[in-house]
Amino acid sequence: MKLKRRNKVAAEFNMSSMTDIIFLLLIFFIITSKFTPEPILKVLLPKGSKTTTTKQLIKVAVSTDLEYSVDDQKVSFDRLPGALDAALTQNPGATVSIYGDKRVNYEKVMDLVYMVNELGGKPVLALKPVK
């Protein structure tokens, strides 16, 4: 008597559950990983001190009519180097903040920067903050 086997072993493998598990693991690792970009240059910055020092500030302004002022006193362009030198000798190490009207020729503002630099000051261009 010959017996037939009714249960045949299927060589199929169902991959749907395996792909579900792989996608769940992928989502888990994406969520738990850090998304901070690597800096282009690795620079070690010095630690700041808790004390802050306020430095002296000298305001120099130039209007559209090429009128100059040093610390809210009008000065002609010819007398500007003398007024800046006097202000810098009264406040050694002061920062000179240059307020130039946006319609003034760039060359005139840069003349002020060069003048302050030659007199030994630290020129800074004042800008309107972006809102």
Please determine, for residue 18, whether its predicted confidence score (pLDDT) is greater than 80: yes
Domains and CATH numbers, the chain: 57-125 (3.30.420.270)
Rounded average pLDDT over 43-64:
72
Which spans in 61-118 are helix H? 80-90, 106-118
Rounded average pLDDT over 33-61:
69
* pLDDT digit string, tens, across residues 83-127: 988 988 888 878 888 888 888 888 888 888 898 888 888 888 877
β-pairing verdict for 57-62 and 95-100: parallel
Which of these, 116, 111, 114, 100, lies nearest to 64 by C-alpha position? 100
Q: pTM to 2 decimals?
A: 0.55
φ, ψ for residue 58 (rounded to 5)? -110, 125
Q: What tokens does 12 get? A: 């199929």
Please determine, for residue 54, whether its predicted confidence score (pLDDT) is greater than 70: no
Please determine, for residue 71, whether its predicted confidence score (pLDDT) is greater than 60: yes
Beta bridge pairs of residue 100: 62
Q: What is the CA radius of gyration of the chain?
A: 36
Specify the 3-state DSSP secondary structure of 121. Answer: coil
Which of the given ranges, 18-22, 29-33, 43-47, has the highest pLDDT on average? 18-22
In angstroms, what CA-CA distances link 121 with 61, 83, 95, 104, 124?
15, 13, 6, 22, 10
Which of these, 67, 130, 122, lies nearest to 100 by C-alpha position? 67
pLDDT band at 26 (very low <50, low <70, confident <90, very high): very high
What percent of the chain has a predicted confidence (pLDDT) above 90?
7
Please determine, for residue 49, whether its predicted confidence score (pLDDT) is greater than 90: no
Please determine, for residue 25, whether its predicted confidence score (pLDDT) is greater than 90: yes
